[in-house]
Each structure stands twice: as C-alpha cells, then as structure tokens.
Amino acid sequence: MTEPTHDEPHGGALGSRLNWLRAAVLGANDGIVSTAGLVVGVAGATDSRQALLTAGLAGLLAGSMSMAAGEYVSVSTQRDAERAALAEERRELRDQPEAELRELAGLLERRGLSGEVARDAARQLTERDALRAHASVELGIDPDRLTNPWHAAGASFLAFTVGALLPLLAIVLPPAALRLWVTVLSVLAALVLTGFSSARLGAAPPGRAVARNVAGGALAMAVTYAAGALLGAAGA
C-alpha cells in the first residue's frame, strides 16, 4: 500500500501547481484587458503622454490592489473552511475512532478496493497517521499544504501588474502617431498568448478560448476609445 499513498499527494501537488499557473495567466489577462481599456479610452480623449501615464499607473495600482485584496479574502475563507473541517475530523477521531475506521474503509472500498483489502489499508493508514488519512481520502486536503492567502494575494498582485505593464508601456513609449496602433496590436497579440495558455493549462481546445479572449479585449478597447473620443469632443 505504500505506492498509492505516495502517488496521492504527488497528484494533488501537480493539480495545485496547474491551478496556480492558470490563476497567474488569468490575472495577467485581467491586467492586460482592464489597463488597455483604460489607456485606450484616455487616448481617445487626449494625446497627452502625461495624462496617459497617470491614468495607466492609476489603473495598474488600483487593479492590482483590488485583485490582491479579493484573492486574499477568498483564499482566507477557503483556509478557514479547511481548518474547520480538520478540527471536526480530529474531534471525530478522538470521540469515535472505530466509526471513523469503518468510514475510511468504506471510502477506500468505494474507490475500488475489495472489502478485506480496504479494511486492512484503513487500519494501516490509521496507525500511521489517522488525521492525514481521513483528510486526504475523505476531505481531499493535505494538512501540511493548506492554502496560503498571502501567497495567493501576492501572486494575483504580481500577475495583474505584469499584464498591465504591457498596454501601459505600449501607450506611452511610441510616438503619438503610432501609440494607439502599437497598443492595440500588442494587446491583441498578448491576448492570443494568454488565451492559448489558459486553454492548454485547462486541457481545452485553444481555438475558441483565443477567439473569445481577443474578441473581448478588442470590444473593450473599441468601447472605451469611442467613449473617450466622445467625451474629448464634448469637452473641446
């Protein structure tokens, strides 16, 4: 039974890493789209590099802080739920160990083991580490690898910032006559990459994901540019 107990955390760790990568790609995608929409909208109203830089930096900071705060709250809630589930499992193991042993054997049997093998495996796992066995098999939790809200917040902040830097630099660095086209083309190319990456990480066909991503980003930039142009014309 030593081989299955070794493989389970390995698979869980791989799934966790893939989830983090997916979250990073999606965070960068949010940074690209939201900041691009903001700076392109401002570009529709003015060609002032200072105004574009100020708006882009404000959007980058506001968006990255919002993403980090939201991820911190979300993951903190998940961590609290995991801790509560582990505490309840400890109480049950202390108060009714035989019932918990039967429950673990039943769970293993439902995973395909024969009754006798499941009972033997449950006894061995319980003797080794009862809480870890129940946490893994019953709850799908590794007690040593609870989700960390600070890690999640930092990763979201970094991913959004990296994504937001692309449209910000693309709008302020080129000459005035080229900056809009450079920004639009750079953003669309980046959205192709993030759409493809997120689809591959999710084991989904990339075509539709890329098309949705590019269409959404293009629509956001078109709408904000039109709004900026109208407001700029009205204020002229």
Within a 10 A sphere around the Cβ of 146, how many other Cβ atoms? 15
In 3D, which of 135, 104, 99 has the Cα closest to residue 121?
104
pLDDT band at 16 (very low <50, low <70, confident <90, very high): low
pTM greater than the 0.85 cutoff: no
Do 64 and 198 contact (CB within 8 A), yes or no? no
Alpha carbon distance, N-terminus to C-terminus of the chain = 77
Do 12 and 198 contact (CB within 8 A), yes or no? no
Specify the pLDDT at position 17. Answer: 61
| Chain segment 113-141, per-residue pLDDT in tens | 887 888 888 888 888 888 888 888 878 88
Give the residue numbers spanning the domain of 222. Answer: 2-235
Domain total in the chain: 1
Specify the pLDDT at position 10. Answer: 45
Q: What is the rounded CA–CA span in Å between residue 92 and residue 90? A: 5
Within a 10 A sphere around the Cβ of 184, how many other Cβ atoms? 21
Q: What is the rounded CA–CA span in Å between residue 168 and residue 97? A: 59
